[in-house]
Amino acid sequence: MAKGTKTKRKRRTKGPSEKIRSLAAISLANKVGYLKLSDLVGQNSKSAESAIEKMPKRNFKSGDTIYPSSHKGPVACLVRSGKVNIVRTASTGRDIEVKAVDAGTIFGDMPTLGQSMLGAKAVAAEASKVTFIGLAEFEKLATSSPSVALNLARQIGPRLVDAERRHEQSAFQPVTSRVASLLLKLGGGAKEVSGYTHQEMADMLGVYRETVTNGIAELKQDNLIKVGRKRITLQNLDALRKMETI
């Protein structure tokens, strides 16, 4: 009995699998460092580029930590030259590289710019030059060049709508529909999902394994999917897509 208890406790404290960590890294890569300087200033905004050129900048050697920085308050980092790795440290202490960004990319923690590092750090992958944009400096830039504010709205508006949609799904969508949505996402347009356990899918949805198992059983009963060993065939993509709608 004692042995069984120890085994269960070990399972609970095991932490996410490598596959889940990889999926988390992919998700983070889509949320960090997605904004480019050209997205903000456009192709022919010399005044905006001139203003940015006057902002504080610093040179980094390969391996130097760029972010977190010593700057107080919200700050965005603009890579002027070189290459920067966005890295997340796992609970094991191991650094997981999320993505590499190059010249022209903006990252950091500044809600006004729609930027957050979500716990990640930035490390110079090679000799790099980075401009630091404070909140007051960005607000001054947006005021003097209205096109910057308009371009920013065009970039973060659709992302906000998508985030709200996913939040609504999480809050109000039946679990079976969320399972269907996850299978479509994992399938990436194909009719087969393979290599995922029910526990891994439960971790992705933030629910119990039994909940995913029951959801898959319902989809199977309705002949929407066919279940094999670590392989699920999506038999009716249209019906599964309809289930994504709340």
Note whether residue 3 is domain-resident. no
3 state SS of 90? coil
Residue 145 has pLDDT above 80, yes or no: yes
pLDDT on residue 21: 65
The answer to whether residues 158 and 204 belong to one domain is no
DSSP strand pairing (192-194 vs 105-109): unpaired
Quick one: 92 and 72 in the same domain?
yes
* Residue 90 Cα distances to 96, 107, 125, 129, angstroms: 7, 20, 19, 27
User: Of 145, 166, 187, which residue sits at a domain end?
Assistant: 166
Of 109, 134, 166, which residue constitutes the final position of a domain?
Answer: 166
Do 41 and 150 sit in the same domain of this protein? yes
Q: Are residues 23 and 95 in the same domain?
A: yes
Predicted confidence (pLDDT) at residue 6 exceeds the cutoff of 60:
no
Residue 163 phi, psi dihedral angles, 5° rounding? -65, -40
pLDDT at 239: 94
Q: What is the DSSP letter of 15?
A: -
pTM score, whole prediction: 0.66
Question: CATH no. for residue 191?
Answer: 1.10.10.10
What pLDDT score does 62 carry? 97
Q: Is the same domain home to 145 and 228?
A: no
Domain co-membership, 79 together with 125? yes
Do 37 and 146 belong together in one domain? yes
Mean pLDDT of 178-199: 90
Quick: pLDDT tens for 26-68: 677 777 888 999 998 877 678 888 889 999 999 999 999 999 9
Find out whether 79 and 130 touch, Cβ atoms under 8 Å.
Answer: yes
Question: Given pLDDT bands bounded at 50, 70 and 90, which one contains residue 85?
Answer: very high
Picking from 116, 131, 166, the residue at the C-terminal end of a domain is 166
Do 55 and 144 belong to one domain?
yes
Q: What is the distance between the alpha carbons of residues 239 and 242, in angstroms, rounded to a whole number?
A: 5
* Residues 6 or more apart in contact with residue 47 via CB below 8 angstroms: 144, 145
**Residue 29, in any domain of the structure:** yes
Rg (CA), the chain: 22
Of 31, 154, 46, which is closest to residue 101 (Cα–Cα)? 31
Do 36 and 87 have their domain in common?
yes
Within-domain flag for 2: no
First to last CA, the chain: 45
Select from 99, 57, 90 the least CA-distant residue to 75.
57
Please give the Cα distance from 123 to 151 (Å, whole number). 28
pLDDT value of residue 31: 79
Mean pLDDT lowest for which of 14-23, 51-60, 94-103, 233-242? 14-23
C-alpha to C-alpha distance for 120 and 86, rounded to whole angstroms: 7
If one counts the domains in the chain, the total is: 2
Mean pLDDT of 74-100: 90
16 or 1, greater pLDDT:
16
* Among the listed residues 120, 131, 22, 136, the one whose alpha carbon sits nearest the alpha carbon of residue 74: 136
Q: What is the CATH number of the domain that holds 79?
A: 2.60.120.10
- Helix 146-172 and helix 135-144, axial crossing angle in degrees, nearest 10: 120
Residue 44 and residue 145: Cα distance in Å, rounded?
12
Range of the domain at 193: 173-243
What is the residue-averaged pLDDT of the chain? Answer: 85
